[in-house]
Structure 1
Amino acid sequence: MSQPRVSVIVPAYNAMPELTDCITSAMEQTIGLDQLEIIAVNDGSTDGTGAELDRLAATCPSLRVIHQENSGTAAIPRNVALDVARGDFVFFLDSDDYLGPDALRRMVAMADENSTDIVLGKMVSVGGRAVPTAVFKQSQPRTDIFSSAAYRTLGCWKLFRRSLLERLHLRFPPFRNTEDKPFTAAAYLNADGISVVADYDCYYHRDRANGNNLTLTAQNLSHRMRGTRMCFETVARHLEPGPRRDQIMRRHVEWELCGPLWWLLLRESEEDIREHIYPEVRDWVENWVTDPVIEKLEPRDRLLLHLLRADRFDDVMTVIRNAKGDAEYGHVIDGGRIYWDHPLFRDTAVGVPDSAFDVTGRLPVCHRIESACWQEEGVLRLTGHAYIENVDTLVPATELVLRCYDMGHPEVRIPTRVHTVAGLPDGERYVNAGFTADIDLTAAALGRGRWNLFLDVRAQGVSRTVRLKSPETERVPSHAIVTAGSGKPVVITPYVTKWGNLSLNVGQDVPRHATPCRVTRLSWHRTRKSTLVVTGTLAGEGAKEIGALRLRAENGEGERRETPVSLERSDGAFTAELPVEGLRAGRWTVTLTQSGSVASVPYLIGLGRTHWFRLARPYSAHPVKEASETTLVVEIRAVDVWPAVRRRLRRAVPRARG
């Protein structure tokens, strides 16, 4: 018997009716049954789970069923299956969840291509079940727990290289809750690389219709204590004290220590809290919670940890009981810092340091750019408003800060003119929040490169610096040709980053006769779905040479398609239509060309995906925001119909049952 690539392990206890979808999704994986073994462990079910597993096994030689007495935890059936697994990789699939059809093939390919020990497949919520999202913002061929958000998800629903688990002799502790966190933590801390598949819905996570998920029914703090201690011990065993350990410990302090104390502690009897839980929690704080960890937490967690350090049991219980009401207290401004005005703030009898109440870096900075436009040559004017939430705009002094993203140029600070503004929430507090900033690019001497724009918002001695959001996309001005101090003209291009922030691209020298184009709208044609429509204006002398202006799409192999641009009005307004049907699959960069000069067509928010048919096969095109920060890139691809249909049908099943 050949060795399978993947062993799919499914612990099952009273898992009907979701179990059928779960096992079927594993049986239908595109990697093929010859590459799989599915090991389902019936943990003493009484609802027909065992009979359903036997029925499915009779139809699938790759499905092996093990029946055992109830253990009361998912850990033991997982361990039973691990002991007999033969695959190169192991994937843990809970019996109420299911896989996307191509999930395992993609995950195994990612592990093979990058020689990684753990692969995270994108998780999808079904019916509102919470799923991690930060780690799945983009695919990552190879990363680690220190440079990614992987450690935020310690559930075991991942692909593990089995040799890693066997080398560590790694098995699940027999706990009713939190049993998978120390297991996954140990694997993470010893893995040779982690991969993330974020461009495909791999794992569908759902609650059972009857609400008896083990993680939902085992919600007492006492169910979590042993698992939490084991998490701390695992990190301490594998990482030396220092910043790297603190970075990982912070996750457990926030999610396994502070979080459960706030929302679970009061479910326990005061006797159990005083005699068992409180001494254990204090021991965790003494051994593993350092000052650098506390500094990075939110104020209420900092307060709680300082009280635990000081062994103030009654105060701990009081702040937990009064948490909701205490959150409504306002703020105190002192010495350029903002503090939470909690009843224990500066209570000398308690002795909690002021730093525990400091919220200066956590209050939101609300801002908006109302307009961005070129004034006289080389002056970019920005108008808008900015204020620090809950800080009255007294003695405001906002500055614009320019920082080069990819070169070593020094930052440039530009004072703004502050003025009154109406119509803001709680307008009397923020009446002086308006500002106008003139960036004189002929005098600022910005070096070549990409410059990010920030606002240093100040009021009452408090200073907060935030990234400058873009105005409405249509209001982002086109590029300008600026004569710098050297006497040479340079192109300055305002653009919107993929995160919606405003930046400047200081480009190369250009001929003086070059004429700027401004693109104002991108759309797909209403009836000809495969045609890109670009509208804009052509300024200056270039408007007289509209016949020379062409819209171009070009791929990485030098293939091009161009169409002429037609003038709509005498003021230089133009429209260009570019059919993308017939272009080869792949990514195409879109530009405007005129008399040898090239102008970027920027990505504008609102251009979505389009579909059309060619030779009875569906195709799609969509902008790729992350491909370029200054130029529109369109990806064309053939649509694989059947996986899309299966995904839609599978998504419809739980909705229909709900």
Structure 2
Amino acid sequence: MPRNSRPGPPPRVSVIVPARDAMPGITRAVTSVMEQTIGLSRLDIVAVDGGSADGTAAELDRLAAGCPSLRVVHQESPRVPGGPGSPGGLGGLRNTGLGLARGDFVFFLDADAHLAPDALRRMVAMADQNGTDVVLGKMVSPDGRGVPKAVFRHNQLRTDVHSSHAYATLEPCKLFRRALVERLRLRFPAHLRHGEGKPFTAASYLNASGISVVADYDCYHLGRSPGPGRTALGVADRVDAMRPLFETAARHTRPGPRRDAVMRHHIRRELCPALRALPREDETEARERFFPELRRWARAHCSDALFATLPASERLMVHLLRTGRFDDLLSVVRDAERDARRGHLVEKGSVYWLHPFFRDPDADVPDACFDVTDRLPVRHHLAGAGWHGGSTLRVRGRAAIEGLPADPEEDRAELVLRRREARDELRIPVVATAEHDPSEFEADIDIATADGGAPLRPGVWDVFLDVRAQGISRTVRFGNRHDDGLDIGTARRVVAAGPGLRARVTPYFTSPYRNLSLDIGPAPRGAPCEVTEAVWHPSDKGTLVVAGRLLPPGTPARGRLLRLRAEHTDGRVHDQPVRFAAGHPAGAFTARLPVRDLSRGRWTVTLAVIAPDDPGPGRAAPAAPVPPPARLPGARWVRRGRPYYAKPLTGRGEVTLELRVAPVRLLAAVRNRLRSW
């Protein structure tokens, strides 16, 4: 019977902690749940001990004695085939916890992991606000062990397995809505020793009303890796773990592209690694026991459309598997490392991998198994982006198709601009800049004439590279690989885009993939000036210093009344005077904005011309944006004994500097400081 069973209203989260010989980590795991900011009154902690012999059971009882929210269950460890006394995985223990769960959500916490203090509150809030059934909290590892990264690049309020990288993480350390679990009658395969959580998570993903991702907070801290003593999984364990995954994917998807996307994951992550492990097994057992079952799965679940999307090496293995060629498959696997280094044949616009089986009459393998035309990697690098002349943005970089040397006379790369939410595409030739290295190039984007002699139309233009070699063309997104410290924010400018026409050009790196894009928009009408610098005052805390010059260049300062303006989202305006440099011919000026005096909230910073008869800030006036500097840090100060901060909002292609002003949350600051130690 569980200890500390208690009546009362249902809690928000049931945290299930399966444990078997889990000392000393179990103490930290359970304590991390007790210390959650969501509050113990909203938690239901169910720890299930599976017959531990190292003191885990006694430690759980000790913790439960001082925590009414913790229930402890002691049960014998399940046994599985594979030898006398072979313990099963943790599935049976998790199932016991699920049977006792009372919360709106369930969370599965491994005994060697722990939760960050605010993890459950954030995940529950994400689920409540977006009506989602599964929430992923960012995972981190203390020793560099591989954890999913792509799915945690940014917060995702509502997504699914087909629009995100969520399916790449199938471990059950997630927040699940219990109504979904019970509707699907989901339980863990108790007989499995490895991967027992993956079918549960896969079924939840594929039936969820939506999936949310908390990526801006380190929610789940993995335990330390077992180290070099770990042994690689054998094919028997791989096959046992794989079987329920293929069954789950087939049961919860319909034939077509979406099923193919899910099956592709399992073929690449589970099936192909099992094929690579076959030579390590007893050959008779591999041939008679494992090979037939793997072949059945490949024939049943690898459609022709899916097959065409696999890398060539895996395409070859799956083809030999589907056609029942055991000996050839083992030969390919054994020689894989050597054969991967073989060259390519370019023929009639296609590129083929020169594997020994390629066009070998005795091997009889279709050319399609060796076609790598669309898979040749492109090496590319952005070296810089800056203005060359009045309206021309010069982009410099390097690009080449790996393994295919380009002919400088024949192969001409192009910069490709594509306007979002439109079918506009513009091609701009690149010019080689180094005789010894044909991959180095530069390209000039003339904002005033790039569109067939006309200015670039307003909108966001994404930058691609069309790289060519030996008649092969590969188009890739450009910019995510660039020089360390490259500051494209310095290329933000208002330019002349034609007679009487001015455009605002904002180069920026997209989030989260950091590719290069250009935001083209009309310049503010009547913009009186441009900003050349915005920095925090070195000694006057909380004061922003803005420098610039009048427009057009050479405009005298006489008779011009200029103000540095901060405008709150509720309409409140705070103006500061601008000081002109005495006798400066270009109308240079500086202004100071005491951000420390602004109330909490979001403030937009501009420069505005004030009419001479306007004593206050309320009248509309022409304004110039104060662009967000690429590296403007936050600022902190103390007001009436309480610390405040101002944080610039940047990174999404903003045109005008926005500052968020708010008091520092002391508890969060202390936690961040402790984490940094």
Q: TM-score range by the shorter chain?
A: 0.7 to 0.9
**1:19 aligns to 2:26 (yes or no):** yes
Residue in structure 1 matched with residue 243 of structure 2 by the alignment = 229
How far does residue 537 in structure 1 lie from its aligned partner after superposition?
6.0
How far does residue 241 in structure 1 lie from its aligned partner after superposition?
0.3
Q: How many Å separate the matches in 1 of 2:589 and 2:346?
A: 54
For each residue in 1:18-69, what CA deviation from the matched residue of structure 2 results, as whole angstroms up to 9, or x when unmatched?
Answer: 1111000011111211111111111111111111111111111111111122
Residue in structure 2 matched with residue 143 of structure 1 by the alignment = 159
Amino acid at match of 1:473: I
Please say if residues 141 and 224 of structure 2, whose CA atoms lie closer than 8 Å, have aligned partners that are also in contact: no
**1:341 aligns to 2:338 (yes or no):** no
How far does residue 566 in structure 1 lie from its aligned partner after superposition?
5.2
How far does residue 8 in structure 1 lie from its aligned partner after superposition?
0.7
Q: How many Å separate the matches in 1 of 2:394 and 2:544?
A: 31
SS of equivalent to 2:662: strand
Equivalent residue in structure 1 for 2:92, among 73, 76, 79? 76
Residue in structure 1 matched with residue 432 of structure 2 by the alignment = 419
Change over 3 Å in CA distance of 1:607–1:266 after alignment to 2: farther
Residue in structure 1 matched with residue 187 of structure 2 by the alignment = 171
Amino acid at match of 1:589: T
**1:126 aligns to 2:151 (yes or no):** no
Change over 3 Å in CA distance of 1:602–1:503 after alignment to 2: farther
How far does residue 495 in structure 1 lie from its aligned partner after superposition?
1.9
Residue in structure 2 matched with residue 315 of structure 1 by the alignment = 328
Residue in structure 2 matched with residue 591 of structure 1 by the alignment = 606
Q: How many Å separate the matches in 2 of 1:180 and 1:329?
A: 39
Please say if residues 509 and 517 of structure 2, whose CA atoms lie closer than 8 Å, have aligned partners that are also in contact: yes
Deviates most, 465-474 or 104-113: 465-474
Change over 3 Å in CA distance of 1:440–1:157 after alignment to 2: closer
Deviates most, 22-31 or 391-400: 391-400
Aligned length: 634
Change over 3 Å in CA distance of 1:162–1:341 after alignment to 2: same
Please say if residues 74 and 176 of structure 1, whose CA atoms lie closer than 8 Å, have aligned partners that are also in contact: yes
Residue in structure 2 matched with residue 656 of structure 1 by the alignment = none
Gaps of 5+ in 1: 423-427, 653-658
How far does residue 633 in structure 1 lie from its aligned partner after superposition?
3.2
Q: How many Å separate the matches in 1 of 2:224 and 2:22?
A: 11
Amino acid at match of 2:415: L
Give the superposed CA RMSD.
Answer: 3.0
**1:276 aligns to 2:289 (yes or no):** yes
**1:637 aligns to 2:662 (yes or no):** yes
Equivalent residue in structure 2 for 1:531, among 518, 543, 548? 543
Amino acid at match of 2:460: R
How far does residue 522 in structure 1 lie from its aligned partner after superposition?
5.0
Equivalent residue in structure 2 for 1:93, among 103, 109, 113? 109
Gaps of 5+ in 2: 1-6, 79-86, 611-620
Equivalent residue in structure 1 for 2:503, among 485, 488, 491? 491
Q: How many Å separate the matches in 1 of 2:316 and 2:212?
A: 37
Residue in structure 1 matched with residue 464 of structure 2 by the alignment = 454
How far does residue 545 in structure 1 lie from its aligned partner after superposition?
3.4
Residue in structure 1 matched with residue 298 of structure 2 by the alignment = 285
**1:391 aligns to 2:404 (yes or no):** yes
Q: How many Å separate the matches in 2 of 1:297 and 1:537?
A: 57
How far does residue 134 in structure 1 lie from its aligned partner after superposition?
1.7
Residue in structure 2 matched with residue 478 of structure 1 by the alignment = 493
For each residue in 1:212-241, what CA deviation from the matched residue of structure 2 results, as whole angstroms up to 9, or x when unmatched?
Answer: 9xxx66733321212212111111112110
Amino acid at match of 1:397: R
Residue in structure 1 matched with residue 215 of structure 2 by the alignment = 198
Please say if residues 473 and 604 of structure 1, whose CA atoms lie closer than 8 Å, have aligned partners that are also in contact: no
Deviates most, 393-402 or 234-243: 393-402
Amino acid at match of 1:171: R
Change over 3 Å in CA distance of 1:534–1:392 after alignment to 2: farther
Q: How many Å separate the matches in 1 of 2:97 and 2:517?
A: 54
How far does residue 205 in structure 1 lie from its aligned partner after superposition?
1.3
SS of equivalent to 1:112: helix
SS of equivalent to 1:479: strand
Residue in structure 1 matched with residue 318 of structure 2 by the alignment = 305
SS of equivalent to 1:308: helix
For each residue in 1:492-535, what CA deviation from the matched residue of structure 2 results, as whole angstroms up to 9, or x when unmatched?
Answer: 41321334444333323765x6566254x554444445334455
Matches within 5 A, 1:213-228: 219-228=233-242
How far does residue 183 in structure 1 lie from its aligned partner after superposition?
0.8
Amino acid at match of 1:555: H
Please say if residues 490 and 506 of structure 1, whose CA atoms lie closer than 8 Å, have aligned partners that are also in contact: no
Q: How many Å separate the matches in 2 of 1:386 and 1:365?
A: 5
Residue in structure 2 matched with residue 400 of structure 1 by the alignment = 415
Residue in structure 1 matched with residue 268 of structure 2 by the alignment = 254
Residue in structure 1 matched with residue 614 of structure 2 by the alignment = none
**1:189 aligns to 2:206 (yes or no):** yes
Q: How many Å separate the matches in 2 of 1:431 and 1:373?
A: 23
Change over 3 Å in CA distance of 1:475–1:196 after alignment to 2: closer
Q: How many Å separate the matches in 2 of 1:28 and 1:562?
A: 46
Change over 3 Å in CA distance of 1:515–1:11 after alignment to 2: same
Please say if residues 373 and 380 of structure 1, whose CA atoms lie closer than 8 Å, have aligned partners that are also in contact: yes
Please say if residues 528 and 608 of structure 2, whose CA atoms lie closer than 8 Å, have aligned partners that are also in contact: no
Q: How many Å separate the matches in 2 of 1:344 and 1:582?
A: 74
Q: How many Å separate the matches in 1 of 2:189 and 2:606?
A: 58
How far does residue 116 in structure 1 lie from its aligned partner after superposition?
1.9
Residue in structure 2 matched with residue 582 of structure 1 by the alignment = 597
How far does residue 641 in structure 1 lie from its aligned partner after superposition?
2.4
Please say if residues 601 and 632 of structure 1, whose CA atoms lie closer than 8 Å, have aligned partners that are also in contact: yes
How far does residue 95 in structure 1 lie from its aligned partner after superposition?
0.4
Q: How many Å separate the matches in 2 of 1:102 and 1:163?
A: 24
SS of equivalent to 2:268: helix
Change over 3 Å in CA distance of 1:365–1:522 after alignment to 2: farther
Change over 3 Å in CA distance of 1:177–1:167 after alignment to 2: same
Residue in structure 2 matched with residue 425 of structure 1 by the alignment = none
Q: How many Å separate the matches in 1 of 2:585 and 2:338?
A: 64
Change over 3 Å in CA distance of 1:383–1:166 after alignment to 2: closer
Q: How many Å separate the matches in 2 of 1:257 and 1:359?
A: 24
Residue in structure 2 matched with residue 504 of structure 1 by the alignment = 518
SS of equivalent to 2:290: helix
Deviates most, 563-572 or 384-393: 563-572
Change over 3 Å in CA distance of 1:531–1:68 after alignment to 2: same
How far does residue 148 in structure 1 lie from its aligned partner after superposition?
1.9
For each residue in 1:530-578, what CA deviation from the matched residue of structure 2 results, as whole angstroms up to 9, or x when unmatched?
Answer: 3344556666436533975544433322233444555677666665543
Deviates most, 326-335 or 45-54: 326-335
Change over 3 Å in CA distance of 1:383–1:644 after alignment to 2: closer
Q: How many Å separate the matches in 2 of 1:613 and 1:219?
A: 57
SS of equivalent to 2:553: helix
**1:622 aligns to 2:647 (yes or no):** yes
SS of equivalent to 1:413: strand
How far does residue 594 in structure 1 lie from its aligned partner after superposition?
5.0
Q: How many Å separate the matches in 2 of 1:632 and 1:120?
A: 32
Residue in structure 2 matched with residue 32 of structure 1 by the alignment = 39
Please say if residues 396 and 433 of structure 1, whose CA atoms lie closer than 8 Å, have aligned partners that are also in contact: no
Q: How many Å separate the matches in 2 of 1:634 and 1:544?
A: 31
Q: How many Å separate the matches in 2 of 1:532 and 1:490?
A: 28
Change over 3 Å in CA distance of 1:490–1:275 after alignment to 2: same
SS of equivalent to 1:441: coil
Deviates most, 97-106 or 138-147: 138-147
Q: How many Å separate the matches in 1 of 2:638 and 2:146?
A: 37
Change over 3 Å in CA distance of 1:354–1:607 after alignment to 2: farther
